[in-house]
Every structure is written in structure tokens, then in C-alpha cells.
Chains A and B, each alone.
Chain A
Amino acid sequence: DAGVIQSPRHEVTEMGQEVTLRCKPISGHNSLFWYRQTMMRGLELLIYFNNNVPIDDSGMPEDRFSAKMPNASFSTLKIQPSEPRDSAVYFCASSLTGTGNTIYFGEGSWLTVV
């Protein structure tokens, strides 16, 4: 299995621009998570989906952030407009539904907003 695949791996963008991060979960997994990692706050859960439906988006910082999962094999996290404080590593992760299952992380998308 190829694991969780994220793109782009690195992105540098100017403040105000739209950023779209993409994720392909492991085939067969029905839970998908978006995390953000910063030095100050560590790993924070932004949103998670179960069977393509958003279950909890309470971690989404503000309206500039949105996430979609149009099908079982693809999800996007969009920031519009981006700000320098959005600079972080964004991880996508997937698992089989249920709290007893291992969660698998992608390699992350390193975002820098200048």
C-alpha cells in the first residue's frame, strides 16, 4: 500500500493567496483527519471525516479554512485568503473507523506564507 499521499509537499505563497492542500487516504480507510503542526501548539486536529461526511470541524481556526471530501479517495483543505500565521505543517491521516484502530499519517504539506 502506498500509504497516505499528500500534495504539495512544500508550498511557499504570498499572503492573500489561496492555498489548496490535497490528500489521498489509504484505500479502504473510512476516517480521514486533517492536523496542523506548529512549534507553539504542537499537533492540532482541524477536522475529521467519516465515510466522506465531516463529523467534527471544531478545530478549524476560522472561516478562511475549509475542507471537503468529495469521495472516499480524495480530500482537500483550502485556505483563502492565506496569512503568515497559517505557516505550518499540515498532515492528513486516515484509519478504519473505530477508536481501536491505528491511524496512519501522510508525510505532510509544509506551508510557508510570506
Chain B
Amino acid sequence: KQEVTQIPAALSVPEGENLVLNCSFTDSAIYNLQWFRQDPGKGLTSLLLIQSSQREQTSGRLNASLDKSSGRSTLYIAASQPGDSATYLCASPFGNEKLTFGTGTRLTIIP
């Protein structure tokens, strides 16, 4: 059974700092890994998708990496802003289209 773990469950950092969110998965046979953002009372917004053949993807201040051999992905946020406060979830389709989600990390950026 595939498991996706995100630690810590919550993280608070001062504005302006760089930070890293972690995602671990047990089955390395993934097709891709996606990072999502969820704001309170809202749906999930896709941030980055890394294909299994890629090692990283970048979008603005966000950089996601993928290391299949170690079963890890990280989301790096540079120069954090209060608007980055949200819950961040990683997910992967293990062998099919069914996404398995991590439990998320709730990020708070302190002004």
C-alpha cells in the first residue's frame, strides 16, 4: 500500500525566510509527483508537477525536487510572504490515475 507522508504537519516561519516542505513516499514506481496549495475554505490549486524522469521543476519563487531512489520530494519556497500561508499537499498517482495525497503541511508566514 502506497503511503505519502508530510512532516511537519505545521510550520511557522518569519516573512522573508526561505523554507523547505517535505514529502516522503513508500513506492518509488511513481509516474509523477504534484504539489498543491489549499487555502482555507477553498479547493486545491496545483503548483508544480514533476514527471518521474525529471529531478526538479521551478515556478517563480517555488522549486520542487524529486528523488525517486530515496522516496522524497521537497518544495522550496524562496523569500516567503504572508500570502504563502496555506496548507501544502503533495500527491502522486501510483501506477494509475488515482492520486494518493499526503496529509499536508500547514504553513504560516509571520509578518
Contacts and interface: CB of A to CB of B under 8 A. Distances in A.
Q: Do A and B come from one complex?
A: yes
B44 A102 contact: no
Main secondary structure of the interface of A (DSSP, over half): strand
Nearest to B100: A45
Nearest to B36: A105
A45 B43 contact: no
B104 A105 contact: no
A31 B44 contact: no
A104 B31 CA distance: 17
A97 interface: yes
B99 A42 contact: no
A106 B46 CA distance: 11
B103 interface: yes
A4 B93 CA distance: 20
B52 to A, nearest CB: 9
Nearest to A98: B97
A3 to B, nearest CB: 9
Nearest to A44: B101
A60 to B, nearest CB: 13
Interface string A66-98: 000000000000000000000000010101011
Contacts of A114: none
A95 B93 CA distance: 13
B43 A107 contact: yes
B97 A31 contact: yes
24 contacts: A31-B97, A42-B101, A42-B103, A42-B104, A43-B91, A55-B97, A56-B96, A93-B44, A95-B97, A97-B97, A99-B96, A100-B49, A100-B51, A102-B49, A103-B34, A103-B99, A105-B36, A105-B44, A105-B45, A106-B43, A107-B43, A108-B42, A108-B43, A110-B41
